[in-house]
Amino acid sequence: MVDNVLSRVPEPMRGALIKHRELLKFAIVGATTFVIDNGVWYLLKLTVLEDKPTTAKAMGIIVAMICNYVLNREWSFRTRGGRERSHEAALFFIFSGLALLINLATFAFSRYVLDLRVPDVSRLTQELADFGFGSVIGMLLATAFRYWAFKKWVFPDELDGHRAEEVRG
């Protein structure tokens, strides 16, 4: 998919995108899991967890987190690593759990510190604040943290390229 997209990009940009191919893949995975997270969140928030929006958000993030692990391991960072899968998964979910807390903190700040919730504000203002703080600001901060942590600790390049050899072979 990335090769197909890159072949259609003008030459000056293509070199930069190829240089940052891993980041591009990470961004595509992030966009996919962003849709999953928000789909689950709004499905729960507008139905069975209407009175528990923070719980609904956490559940959306957890479902997206599982998809994120599979896609990042098998696609974005497939040429990195070499760790035992259980060790890698444990690190992934520890750092993703910290990212979940970052994401929920921005959402909770909006709802419970700024009181951007019904009846203090209109339903539209509440929903815009929920999306802005929970899905945009929180997701951006959590994503930046995850990208750094995944490259440094979960899928490091310093493991002699064991997985890179497996992928090529």
Tens-place pLDDT, residues 60-106: 999 999 999 999 888 888 877 667 888 889 999 999 999 999 999 99
Asked if the model's pLDDT at residue 164 lies above 50, the reply is no
Distances (CA, A) of 115 to 55, 85, 142, 151: 17, 43, 22, 37
Choice between 72 and 49, residue whose per-residue pLDDT is larger:
49
Asked if the model's pLDDT at residue 157 lies above 90, the reply is no
- Most confident range (mean pLDDT) of 49-58, 78-87, 159-168 is 49-58
* Rg over CA atoms, the chain: 18
Average pLDDT, the chain: 86
Query: How is residue 49 written in tokens?
Result: 């967890």
Asked if the model's pLDDT at residue 118 lies above 50, the reply is yes
